[in-house]
A = this chain, B = another copy of it.
Amino acid sequence: MRSFQRGALDLRPVILTPGVSRHAEGSAQVEFGHTRVLVTCSVEERVPPHLMGKGTGWVTAEYGMLPRATHTRSQREAAKGKQTGRTMEIQRLIGRSMRAAVNLSTLGPRTLTLDCDVIQADGGTRTASITGAYVALVLALRALQSKGTLSKMPSLTPLAAVSVGVVKGEVRVDLDYDEDSAADVDLNLVATGDGRIVEVQGTAEHQLFDRKALDAMLDGGMAAIQHLIVAQAKVLG
């Protein structure tokens, strides 16, 4: 039986808590079952060098895990003096996804940074991060608009992310840590509510997969993303 008594294509309980930070322009805590990520969206009135003078804005992301977010303690990246390749890969994915969610040219010359910090990990930290980051991003943009910094709300593309895998020959959605470790195939999907793809990353962990399996995973992932987008819309009002 899967955790939370759920079926193969069901999500874990998803809880999105908006506005969890006193300081950040936008923030949300996102829980996918026992996975818990705190996302803040910080606005800074500057852009990276390659965008200076172009009038456009920028959206970027950073990702981290508290050392004991995991079953056994990992070394603190700040103490080690560098971020792992996994961390970099994930934060690049989150950043690209968020840039697809908003029209950068309508942001003005400012940078929005989405800090996704994993408080507790149980699989799916990157997909939970993206799902929560969209909420924090929208809240930050609304704050900019209500302060008058932005004269109108930028056009947005709601999007969310979920993991899908083949475990014991079965396509399953939103894997927890134990399933993830046992999966033959692991796929992360970032998509919109109307079925358009932002990112798809599928990896044969222990077994190669064919087009049919890919299609089944995409079907499962797309359906789950509808639910996530409904959940986002609910908290965003």
Contact = CB atoms under 8 A, between A and B. Distances in A.
Contacts of A208: 100, 157, 192, 196-198
Interface stretch (A5-13, A47-55, A62-70, A226-234): A62-70
Contacts of A77: 78
Contact of A66 (B38, B68, B211): B38
Interface stretch (A81-89, A127-135, A143-151): A81-89
Interface in A189-237: 192, 195-204, 208-211, 214, 218
Interface string A15-44: 000000111100100000010001010101
What copy number does this chain have within its complex? 6
A125 B214 CA distance: 25
Interface of chain A, main secondary structure: mixed
Contacts of A78: 64, 76-78, 80, 82-83, 87
Interface in A98-120: 100, 113, 115, 117, 119-120
A66 B91 contact: no
Nearest to A43: B73
Contacts of A69: 23
A92 interface: yes
A174 interface: no
Contacts of A40: 66-68
A79 B67 contact: no
Contacts of A204: 100, 196-199
Nearest to A213: B197
Q: Choose among A40, A83, A117, A204 the residue with the greatest number of B CB atoms under 10 Å from its CB.
A: A204
30 contacts: A21-B120, A23-B68, A23-B70, A23-B120, A38-B66, A40-B67, A44-B73, A62-B67, A64-B78, A66-B115, A67-B113, A67-B115, A68-B115, A73-B113, A73-B115, A76-B115, A78-B80, A78-B83, A79-B83, A82-B82, A85-B91, A88-B88, A100-B204, A157-B208, A195-B211, A196-B210, A197-B209, A197-B214, A199-B201, A201-B202
Interface of A: 21-24, 27, 34, 38, 40, 42, 44, 62, 64, 66-73, 76-83, 85-89, 91-92, 96, 100, 113, 115, 117, 119-120, 122, 157, 192, 195-204, 208-211, 214, 218
